[in-house]
Structure 1
Amino acid sequence: MSVSHDEVDRVLRLKRQEREPKACYPCRKRKVKCDGTQPCRTCQKRNHSHICTFDESRGPRRREGLQARANAQSAASVSPRRIQPEGRNPAETSTPASIRSDDAAKNYVYSGDNSLVSILRSRASDSNESMAREVGSVLGLQNTFSIYPFMDPKTPHERWKSLLSVLPQRTEVLKFFHYYRVTAYPFNPILADMDRFESDLCTYLNAHATGELRNQDKITEKWATDKSVGHISLLLATLAAGAHYSDIEYPQRLELATDFARRSFHALRLANFLFRPSLDIIQALVILGNTIQNMGQSDAAWAFLGTTIRLAQTMGLHTERSTIHWPEYVRAKVKKLWSTIVWQDSLLCLCYDRPPIVTLAGWSLDNSLLQRQDLSYREVMHFLTRLGLDIMRPEIFGASEADRSIEALQQIDTLYQRGKPHLQVRENCITFQEHLEHLALKMHSSFCVSVVCRPAMKQSQTQPLLMRTEILRARAKGSLIDASRAFLDFQALSVVPLRSWSMVHTVLSSTLLLCIWEETRNDPECRDLQQKVIDVFSSADSKESDEGGLGSENEGHWLSARHIRALVTLRSALDRQQDMSVPENETWTGAGVNPAQFASGYPDGFFDVANPLDTSPVSYLDSIMNVPMFDFTQEIDFL
């Protein structure tokens, strides 16, 4: 029986197609199983999906078959990098694979232009591009743990059960997210895309209602991904902040905020935050740090913010160049997020007089913002916090200290004049929110002015003063008065100033300086402001005691230790002033903490305002607010 040549060619062609490689290049190289998808599951598990490539020499039919197979399996894939939650931005579905998205950022590790990794990447040709991408792992510059190693849940089933144990319930979301959205967010807009977050929040509530997040024995793959768990940690972080600003009694409020924060931290570990940071994870960390700070734990918040900034820099959020290949909507989100991180670092640095660690050079300013004269509250605050970093880096200003201060004041004044009318003058405020924004900006800007003018406050009136020094001292006095007045007006309208650590710090430090500064301590107006501020905190303490059943030993517990110390000093000083002006049996008595609990260890005359120690008011303030919290003399002892 003869066989035609055409039939022979057909059979050989089929055999040749069968011998074509069915595995990707990394799997063939390692001689391991490959499922033929791109990226395959093996490459995904080994955390190098970006090098999962197939030979381009394969026939078009084979490539089409693999593509169809990949499309069929994509919906059921268990990889965290292949599954997206519902409600995502439509732009993501049309983004080419060559452009990094939110998820792809998890595989990206930022390196400077002069690093070996960047040099190899820039010089890589098509033939060795995969090698250039792998060089980070080869040099030990990239994390390899796909699961957070410092926790018990290891298997996917254990991880799922652990996640379900911390999920926010529907009632918790509906109650406490409202407080975050209305009270906390407008004055500290950490979420970079509120609209997108609220859309994802609706997706979560729908999934919770349908039972997708209830069965411990059945893993819902869409919600078990790193991205989804990171989003849940962000949701819990917003609930922690919302609980802190809620109208619940203090003991329960503290317990709820702490519980939400604990659950958020647990979700962060499940999302492997330290080894695989994402934009949601960075936002969750910033909100948690700010909530810890508002609870009075500012030292922990300071250290925590440092870790957050380093993780953000790992993703390249601090520089525009590293995001050039990302979709435009992601780039806008990244820019807002980094500006928010700058905001947090700037305020803490100004309060503590500590060096900042964020950088501003990586992102160029929007030219339209530089020309506009109707900046919103958030926009003015972003510029003001940038100026705050400049204040903490005096080397960028002129040569002399007075010149630096004058130039900084000019920049603050110019920025203030570029805000919307209601931000500049309260008479222009119409809505309730406009009144709150005006007062919040007045507090922050007054604090910045007082910090700029503090060098001039260190000089005594007995010394000959230059014209510029006199100007700075006059601006300092005005800023301290403005900050105290704005706080009093603000707290009459909202709980925000009494629950925000930075605002509490501003008013107590300003009032205390008014009390001890030689130019203001005998001023009747300043003394009246001091008394009113103390009355606010005293009434707040009394209210907490009445509603929450707190004893006297817990009064003021919601303040930080440094702020309690400042309040105690201020009360003691006013007590002494009253003692000098009223009969002995009519001394001022106000609710508060016993000054003796913090007075020990200070030299004689420390609280004597009539005859203060020979020290500047700024040094006096620093000695009160910055008493060491740790006894480093005990470091040599083991037990």
Structure 2
Amino acid sequence: MSIRRDEADRVLRLKSRERESHACYPCRKRKVKCDGNQPCRTCQKRKHPQICDFDIPVHSRRRSTSQHLAQPASSTAPQAVTETVDQPPVQNDDSSKNYVYSGDNSVVSILRSRASDANDSMVREVSSVLGLQNTLNSYPFMDSKTPSEKWESLLQVLPQRMEILKFFHYYRVTAYPYNPILADMDRFEADLCTYLNAHALGEFKDPGKITDRWATDKSIGHISLLLATLAAGAHYSDVEHPRRLELATDFARRSFHALRLANFLFRPSLDAIQALLIVGNTLQNTGQSDAAWALLGTTVRLAQTMGLHTERSTIHWPEYVRTKARKLWSTVVWQDSLLCLCYDRPPIVSVTGWSFDHAHFEQNDLSYPETMHLICRLGLDIMRPENLGITEVDRAIEGLRRLDNLGQRSQHYLRNRESCITFQQNLEHLALRMHTSFCVSVLCRPAMKQFQPQPLNPQADILRTRAKAGLIDASTAFLDFQALSVVPLRSWSMVHTVLSSTLLLCIWEETRHDPECRSLQQRVIDVFSSSDSRTTEGTPSESDGQWLSARHIRALVTLRSALDREGDRAANYQEDPGMGFEAAPGVDINNQDGYVPVEMLDPFGISPVTYLDSIMNVPLFDFTQENGFL
């Protein structure tokens, strides 16, 4: 009796499915034991019972293997690696390298959820058919196209051994503890040792001989991340300012060039996202905060392309990669929150895509990074209030309550400096005080928007009291911090905090004539005058002041002028408390038009917050001449 071949294949396929049905999809994928229940004990233990499914097929790798072998030797397509999160384990063919996150309501997701064996290949191609994914395997906006050209270009920007030994230490000790962008420092340092060993073995010496393991997009992305850490390390190093700025800029340039070689815009990766965050933070710290803001927008979009903003897209990723992705998205939230608070601009990130255990928000003994992550989540609520039915004052009171509750749950040394034992604990305590005080001042700004206090308004009185204490504490913490470390003088967010706080102390009627506040203002000016920004005839010199942003130099000059004028009027004020306050003249260091000069503003006619904004938010560009080509 003869049996048709297609009938035999059908029977074998059914038998294969019967064998597979004894284990759910996640257990088959991980090759671990499954008890056959739904959800099984393994999925319950790993805390993903919702994906315990026995009907999801595991696709064969034969198609992807044949496609890989069919690729020409000169192909520059990204190599498949286990840690590359833009390759979801659900898909094992070559199209997984071009994975683009799509929401549940997209056509791609709907087709994928309803796919069967018959149309599965169509689903894998639907993103390309609909034009929803990139197709270029190399970065199109540069000359290096072939593998040999990319290799030669990479060798020109590679970090050298002495550069790493000198500047990575500064990043690890000085920059990273207060802005932990790297999602896995231990893994990064292990990879760094691998790179140094390869460098010592001469794997990067011959431009004509490509070393395969360092020529992949993933390896080049890691080199870009290493260069980014060196840029940040150079900024915090003990090198003199002109050379320090030159080094930081050069490392950032090389890092971005490596990103282009890794095709970051078309094939983003975890290393690329981290490199972009560190480069953007370095730009910010060297005074280029507007460029940092723009770059952060691109970084957020690339992270969303990979699906880092939502937990659902990481369900099928390895546990280690899921943990890394979660930390990285929290870091993105951190960066966006601080920039938004400083600029008073709307955030573009969201925290709703990741589910957080409620106990996480109630646990005690929070570390410095954990406390900062929660403060930044609160910062998003400050900048993007969800409940518009309550008054601004009530929302500020609720924000203060949440901030106070969070502070009480941090580790004891973070709450009380007397409990600090080590040098690092002192630094983290002061850094947290600066960030917390800044949030307090932002929350309490409704009380500073009116020049005269509102009568019989207890909540407004609370805000005014907390505002004064927050402004004083921010300045005090900065002064104590800078006595121990260069971090506050080299960190843009901390410079912004102390200058904005000190300016408000100088112009707010509650604090303008307070002897303690005037003493703080003078001490802050003295710190900036005696540090990297040495002054000439009372104005920060251009060469030494470039590490500050243009807005902060303007704020510093305005503060100095206001303090000098106020000192001249102190005696007259004692004789006639009702005399007006003449606005301090601002210095336009950019000599640009298109805005109202600060000297024409009268603090008595506007609120202190508006006056502060007029100093800190001077337009950097003239948009009045945009109606012609020339």
Structure 2-normalised TM-score?
0.83
Change (3 A) 1:282 1:55: closer
> Counterpart of 1:523?
514
- Matched residues in 1 for 2:181 and 2:148: separation? 33
Q: Please, which runs of 5 or more residues in structure 2 have no aligned partner?
A: 6-57, 573-584
What is the Cα deviation at residue 597 of structure 1? 4.5
Residue 369 (structure 1) aligned with residue 357 (structure 2): no
The 1-side partners of 2:289 and 2:540 are apart by 24
Distance 2:627 2:307 in 1: 40
Q: Could you say which residue in structure 2 is the equivalent of 1:22?
A: none
Contact 1:568–1:594 at 8 Å: present in 2 too?
yes
Per-residue CA shift, 1:427-457, capped at 9, x if unaligned?
1100011000000000001101110110111
Check whether the contact 1:572–1:595 (CA below 8 A) recurs between aligned residues: no
1:513 and 1:289 map into 2 onto residues whose CA distance is 28
- Is the Cα–Cα contact under 8 Å of residues 89 and 317 in structure 2 kept in the other structure? no
Q: Where does 1:92-241 land on structure 2 (aligned, <5 Å)? A: 98=89, 106-241=97-232
The CA deviation at 1:552 is 3.5
Structure 1 residue 577: Cα displacement: 1.9
Distance 1:551 1:332, change over 3 A: closer
- Cα gap change, 1:171/1:619 in structure 2, threshold over 3 Å: closer, same or farther? same
Aligned mates of 2:134, 2:344 — CA distance in 1: 34
Q: What is the CA–CA distance in structure 2 between the aligned matches of 1:259 and 1:604, rounded to whole Å?
A: 36
Map residues 416-495 of structure 1 onto 2, 5 A cutoff: 416-461=407-452, 463-495=454-486
Show CA shifts across 1:32-62 (max 9, x none).
xxxxxxxxxxxxxxxxxx9996489xxxxxx
Greater Rg, structure 1 or structure 2? Answer: 1
Partners of 1:598 and 1:397 lie apart in 2 by: 39
Residues 629 and 278 (structure 1), Cα distance of their counterparts in 2 relative to 1, 3 Å cut: same
Gap regions ≥5 residues in structure 1: 1-8, 14-49, 57-65, 584-592
Structure 1 residue aligned with 2:284, among 293, 305, 315?
293
Matched, 1:561 2:560: no
Matches of 2:409 and 2:467 in 1, distance apart? 22
CA distance in 1, matches of 2:533, 2:497: 22
Measured in 2, the distance between the counterparts of 1:597 and 1:562 equals 9
Structure 1: how far apart are the matches of 2:135 and 2:112? 20
Q: 2:560 — aligned with what?
A: 571
**CA offset at residue 541 of structure 1?**
3.9
Distance 1:301 1:444, change over 3 A: same
8 Å CA contact 2:451–2:608 kept in 1: the answer is no
Q: Output the CA distance in 1 between the equivalents of 2:324 and 2:129.
A: 32
Contact 1:233 1:265 in 2 (8 A): yes
Q: Secondary structure at the residue paired with 1:148?
A: coil
Residues 160 and 542 (structure 1 numbering): CA distance in 2 closer, same or farther, change over 3 Å?
closer
**Aligned mates of 1:457, 1:581 — CA distance in 2:** 23
Cα distance in 2 for partners of 1:83, 1:395 equals 42
1:310 aligns with 2:266: no
Once residues 128 and 419 of structure 1 are traced to their aligned partners in structure 2, the CA distance between those partners, rounded to angstroms, is 53
Q: Aligned letter for 1:369?
A: H
Root-mean-square deviation (Å) = 3.1
Give the Cα–Cα distance (whole angstroms) in 1 for the partners of residues 563 and 589 of structure 2.
17
Distance 1:106 1:475, change over 3 A: farther
The answer to whether the Cα contact below 8 Å between 1:449 and 1:476 also exists between their aligned partners in 2 is yes
Paired amino acid for 1:535: D
- Is the 8 Å Cα contact of residues 397 and 407 (structure 1) preserved in structure 2? no
Tell me the distance in 2 between the aligned counterparts of 1:462 and 1:78.
70
> Cα gap change, 1:542/1:557 in structure 2, threshold over 3 Å: closer, same or farther?
closer
Length-normalised TM-score, structure 1: 0.81
Query: Which whole-Å CA distance do the structure 2 matches of 1:462 and 1:543 have between them?
Result: 39
CA contact (8 A) 1:450 1:480 kept: yes
Q: Is the 2:598–2:614 Cα contact (8 Å) retained in structure 1?
A: no
For the 8 Å contact 1:572–1:607, the answer to whether it is kept is: no
Match of 1:412 in 2: 403
| Count of residues in correspondence between the two structures | 556
State whether structure 2 residue 301 is matched by structure 1 residue 342.
Answer: no
For residues 55-108 of structure 1, the C-alpha deviation after alignment (integer angstroms, 9 at most, x for no partner) is 89xxxxxxxxx99xx99x99x998765466xxx98xx9xxx994579x997432
Structure 1: which amino acid aligns with 2:486?
A: V
User: Do structure 1's residue 629 and structure 2's residue 615 form an aligned pair?
Assistant: no
Deviation by residue 1:557-612 (Cα, 9 ceiling, x = unmatched): 210000011101100001112333589xxxxxxxxx9947479978688389xx74
Check conservation: 1:81, 1:104, Cα contact below 8 A: no
Q: Structure 2 CA distance, aligned partners of 1:567 and 1:81?
A: 49
The residue aligned with 1:513 is: 504
Structure 2 CA distance, aligned partners of 1:98 and 1:578? 68
Give the aligned residue type for 2:559.
L
Mapped to 1, the partners of 2:169 and 2:472 lie a distance apart of: 34
Q: Give 2:206's aligned amino acid.
A: N
Contact 1:484-1:510 at 8 Å conserved across structures:
yes
Mark the CA change 1:79 to 1:296 in structure 2 (over 3 Å): closer, same or farther: closer
State how far apart, in whole Å, the 2-side matches of 1:375 and 1:124 are.
45
Which residue is equivalent to 1:246? 237
Q: 2:266 aligns with which of 275, 281, 306?
A: 275
Seen in structure 2, the aligned counterparts of structure 1 residues 281 and 603 have a Cα distance that, compared at 3 Å, is closer
Q: What residue in structure 2 maps to residue 606 of structure 1?
A: 599
Q: Which amino acid aligns with 2:195?
A: Y
